[in-house]
Structure 1
Amino acid sequence: MEYLDFELPIKELEDQLTKCKLIGEESDVDVTETCQQIESKLEHTRKEIFKNLTAWQRVQLSRHPSRPYTLDFIKALTKGTFMELHGDRTVKDDKAMVGGLGKIGDQSFMFIGQQKGYNTKTRQYRNFGMSNPEGYRKALRLMKMAEKFQIPVVTLIDTPGAYPGLEAEERGQGEAIARNILEMTRLRTPIISIVIGEGASGGAVGIGVGDKVMMLENTWYTVISPESCSSILWRSWEYKEVAAEALKLTAKDMSRQKLIDGIIKEPLGGAHTDREKTYKSVEMAIKKAYKELGELSLDKLVKQRMEKYANMGVFKG
């Protein structure tokens, strides 16, 4: 298991506990009381660390290499019923954006989300979760298909941003994201959006205009990453922690500003420490949101969605 820098006290205690148990197994010495003391201290330390996480520490947790990604969630939620769909019917199939049909219980959903890789090879294959324009156009194609067949849409957001390369701009990256935002505001089917990892910039908003927008507890959602913000303001990444606090990017910050509709609690230590519990929490959140949205007429659904986003922010006429 990999540990983040602020988790090192936990690692030290876990190592001590392992050694203590090993001594008990390999000798006649009774170390039961000692092991119990270490376990008690470990539990207390874990609670203290995760009770007072900073914004930057939550950013680190959202990027944990063992954290479940979009396809992990989809496979767990749909239990073998997922059928992936490919291509934008214009350029090619963007591997950073995945989507397809699957069932949660007896209800069909159109799942769409950014997918990162698990190692160097798959990260390159998935372009580190950074979609090209054809990825957003594929997402829109699938949303339109869902609308046609009256299937609710679930989007899972986990991206450091849309791909900023020259070829992406040549193929209309800005237009593709803007088109998705426009079309999602008036899509005549329920949309449930969940930030499961990183939610950066227009790359996240391009599939994030939902009737219900939720965030897992240790995720972030903002216009720019803390590192990029730091490099612009201070010409250095050294102030990324300051930037993270100033950006108000955590789930609690977003909820406080009424920019999201709910926070999905994670197991102590992060989603990766108990994947099954995390999947169950997300499944329950989706079912609850769909039940609430399913009670609305399509006209009311679209009107409510448009009003929701029109009322966000402060501006002068």
Structure 2
Amino acid sequence: MLLEFEQPIVRLEEKLAEMKELAEHSKVNVSEDIKSLEKKIQTLKEETYKNLTRWQRVQLSRHPERPYTLDYIYSITDDFIELFGDRTVKDDKAMVGGLGTLDGQTVMFIGQQKGRNTKQRQMRNFGMANPEGYRKALRLMKMAEKFNIPIVTLIDTPGAYPGFEAEERGQGEAIARNIRDMFMLKVPVICIIIGEGASGGALGIAIGDRVLMLENTWYSVISPESCSSILWRSWDYKEQAAEALKLTAQDMKGFGLIDGIIKEPLGGAHRNIQWMCNELKKNILDELKALSAMDANKRIDSRIEKFSDMGSVIE
């Protein structure tokens, strides 16, 4: 999939391919022109992705080729075992979780999962969890706490499912309970936004000792499109809404709402998935090492203090 702002890069890459084909099938020496064009393409890429608007970063976060939760988990763990069900209603396919080994250490992984094609998206409900999804997540967190296993959550959702049946089964209560109980978990908790981080759907699994965001992701109480439809009665102002919401990783770090930003390959995580997985694994291991050295009660106190300080102003 080609995004609009990437078109100038693609046109130059097509021209480069033509020049290489010409060099291969003729005696014309264009080696200097090829080197010059390759340098121009690299410079254009660096300038383009360095100066992305907030809306363009939102577009990158939704790229259909971008790695999802299970892509990361299966790549960085040695023997992932998925666990199912909330023991009350059913198994929510939009929320996945289970145990995996990370360099010899067992970790409980939990996250929203989107689908690659129409059938998968319907099965995963586009990554929008129902109450049973959040209750499954909390069940797995409590299990991890019982066996002293650290928790890593991978967040990628356009929001919790807003359907009638979800509200009927207690969507708000399920998210609120997760937020409350995650504050008191005795094991290390690392939360990483890998794509979209929208509203309570994201916050329901995002209370941790460390909250990190990938470079081209967003985190906000509402999506730009929904914000635009409320304020302007139209989705046409989504770019202005994105600017006003200040929802990028860089914005969140500046506000002190997250603890760090994980760098992505040039062009986004989907450009070099294996590199991105290695970078994610490195950051998780580094954070786990630091958090595991802390006393459990001090870790809980620090977690509560961090979130309590958000939005407070001292005059």
Where does residue 14 of structure 1 map in the other structure?
13
Superposed displacement of residue 69, structure 1: 0.4
Counterparts of residues 93-112 of structure 1 (less than 5 Å) = 93-112=91-110
Q: Distance between the aligned counterparts of 1:20 and 1:154, measured in 2?
A: 47
Give the aligned length. Answer: 314
Where does residue 267 of structure 1 map in the other structure?
265
Q: Distance between the aligned counterparts of 1:223 and 1:230, measured in 2?
A: 13
Where does residue 116 of structure 2 map in the other structure?
118
What is the RMSD computed on CA atoms of the aligned residues? Answer: 1.1
Q: Distance between the aligned counterparts of 2:160 and 2:243, measured in 1?
A: 23
Deviates more, 1:304-313 or 1:59-68: 304-313
Superposed displacement of residue 23, structure 1: 1.8
**Aligned partner of 2:197 among 178, 196, 199:** 199
Where does residue 168 of structure 2 map in the other structure?
170
Superposed displacement of residue 315, structure 1: 7.1
Where does residue 249 of structure 1 map in the other structure?
247
Matched, 1:62 2:55: no
Q: Distance between the aligned counterparts of 2:313 and 2:50, measured in 1?
A: 36
Superposed displacement of residue 314, structure 1: 2.9
Structure 1 runs of 4+ aligned residues shifted over 4 Å read none
Counterparts of residues 23-34 of structure 1 (less than 5 Å) = 23-34=22-33
Q: Secondary structure at the match of 1:194?
A: strand
Q: Distance between the aligned counterparts of 2:291 and 2:129, measured in 1?
A: 29
TM-score (norm 1): 0.97
- What is the identity, as a one-letter code, of the residue corresponding to 1:54? T
- What is the identity, as a one-letter code, of the residue corresponding to 1:92? K
Q: Distance between the aligned counterparts of 2:25 and 2:173, measured in 1?
A: 66
Deviates more, 1:31-40 or 1:269-278: 31-40
Deviations 1:136-183 (A, max 9, x none): 000000000000000000000000000000011111100000010001
Where does residue 53 of structure 1 map in the other structure?
52
Q: Distance between the aligned counterparts of 1:96 and 1:315, measured in 2?
A: 37
Where does residue 179 of structure 2 map in the other structure?
181
Q: Secondary structure at the match of 1:126?
A: helix
Q: Distance between the aligned counterparts of 2:29 and 2:276, measured in 1?
A: 37
Q: Distance between the aligned counterparts of 1:18 and 1:92, measured in 2?
A: 52
Deviates more, 1:207-216 or 1:26-35: 26-35
Where does residue 301 of structure 2 map in the other structure?
303
- What is the identity, as a one-letter code, of the residue corresponding to 2:105? Q
**Aligned partner of 2:219 among 206, 214, 221:** 221
CA change 1:315–1:168 in 2 (3 A) is: farther
Where does residue 43 of structure 1 map in the other structure?
42
Q: Distance between the aligned counterparts of 2:104 and 2:203, measured in 1?
A: 29
Q: Which runs of 5+ in 1 are unaligned?
A: none
Q: Distance between the aligned counterparts of 1:288 and 1:12, measured in 2?
A: 40
- What is the identity, as a one-letter code, of the residue corresponding to 1:296? M
Q: Distance between the aligned counterparts of 1:21 and 1:210, measured in 2?
A: 50
Where does residue 84 of structure 1 map in the other structure?
82
Q: Secondary structure at the match of 1:150?
A: coil
- What is the identity, as a one-letter code, of the residue corresponding to 1:224? I
Q: Distance between the aligned counterparts of 1:22 and 1:164, measured in 2?
A: 52
Percent identical pairs in the alignment equals: 64
- What is the identity, as a one-letter code, of the residue corresponding to 1:33? E
Deviates more, 1:275-284 or 1:191-200: 275-284
- What is the identity, as a one-letter code, of the residue corresponding to 2:11? E
Q: Which runs of 5+ in 2 are unaligned?
A: none
Superposed displacement of residue 35, structure 1: 1.7
Superposed displacement of residue 26, structure 1: 2.4
Superposed displacement of residue 186, structure 1: 0.5
Superposed displacement of residue 116, structure 1: 0.3
TM-score (norm 2): 0.98
Deviations 1:95-145 (A, max 9, x none): 000000001101110000000001111111110000000000000000000
Superposed displacement of residue 27, structure 1: 2.5
Q: Distance between the aligned counterparts of 2:139 and 2:69, measured in 1?
A: 19
Q: Secondary structure at the match of 2:70?
A: helix
Deviations 1:175-233 (A, max 9, x none): 00001000101111110000000000000000000100000000000000000000000
Deviations 1:273-313 (A, max 9, x none): 11111111111111111111111111111111111111111
Q: Secondary structure at the match of 1:192?
A: strand
Matched, 1:279 2:277: yes
Q: Secondary structure at the match of 1:144?
A: helix
